Structure 1
Amino acid sequence: MKYPSKKDWWLGLILWGAVGCGAYISTYALLTEKADLLGILITVIINLALIAFISWLWFTTYYVLEEKELIIRSGPINKRIPYREISSAHKTLNPISSPALSLKRINITYQFGMALISPKNRDEFLQKLSERCPNATIKFD
């Protein structure tokens, strides 16, 4: 079962605002300064790369509960966590960097670390995870 990431509006504003500001500033600089072809080309490539990367993160962040493992996908991140390794999961507002587009997150502790994710429906996700991880401590509050 696939769960898309919840997306906070303010995080979108920050990410897309940064892209817009970068594009505006570089375009303004190109129009007001004498830029050679190489400078223009480098500026365009950097802007397109930034837009592509932010789009990749924004549109491909999701979580899949498969038969034997949890898959976390966000841009270049593709993590697989076998259910047998998951020891606990609970709701959190932990702001550290993670493949999550919202601060309403789930902290999953497993054998080799922890993962913070932000499925749209945290309660449903935790319920389905608890069915797949009977030995894990799953907190719904």
Structure 2
Amino acid sequence: MTFRAERDRFFILTTLLIVLVTATVIFIPLLFDKSATQEDWIIVSCIFLGTNAFVLWPFLFITYTFHEEYLQVAGGPVRSKIKYRDITKVARTTDILTGYRMHSSLNSIEIFYNTGWTGSVKISPQQQEWFMEELKKRCPNMILDLK
């Protein structure tokens, strides 16, 4: 069972701002360079597309997949497998700036677990209540702090 990440206005606007700043930084110098050739424009356009593909890939393709023994959290090239037996606690969070995060919404939950270098991951699944029910089935001993 796979859940996609919820996206809210804050993250959409932030991502669009990053794309706009990247476009400005990359294309403005060419606009003022009268000696710029078509090849220059092609090279700069490829750099722009590559940079923004790297920015958008994690944002557009965040998924949370329930497997038999573990929860897979994936965003772009980053993938984490969290074994259900290692999950200790789940809590709501609005902290978007610190820690390991694979979310695109301020309406997030944080999953704490015993393994991994950070000990927790912040996620924002669509249909959060359904996600939590599925997680409770697989981790009956975890602590829920959904205040």
Aligned position for 1:20: 20
Secondary structure of 2:102's counterpart equals coil
Post-superposition shift, 1:60? 0.9
Name the aligned partner's letter for residue 127 of structure 1. E
Does the CA contact (< 8 Å) of 2:10 and 2:105 recur in 1?
no
Shift of 1:25: 4.3
Percent identical across equivalent pairs? 28
RMSD: 2.0
Aligned length, in residue pairs: 141
Instruction: Give 1:78's aligned residue.
Output: 79
Q: Contact between 1:126 and 1:138, CA under 8 Å: does it hold in 2?
A: no
Structure 1 stretches of 4+ moved >6 Å? none
Paired AA for residue 110 in structure 1: Y
Structure 1, unmatched stretches of 5+, are none
After alignment, is 58-67 or 79-88 more displaced?
A: 58-67
Structure 2 gap ranges (5+): none
* Equivalent residues in 2 for 1:53-68, closer than 5 Å: 53-68=54-69
Distance in 1 between residues matched to 2:31 and 2:77, nearest whole Å: 34
- Residues 1:105 and 2:111 are matched in the alignment: no
TM-score normalised by L of structure 1: 0.87
Cα deviation 1:22-65 (Å, max 9, x = unaligned): 22443232122133677545533321112211221122101011
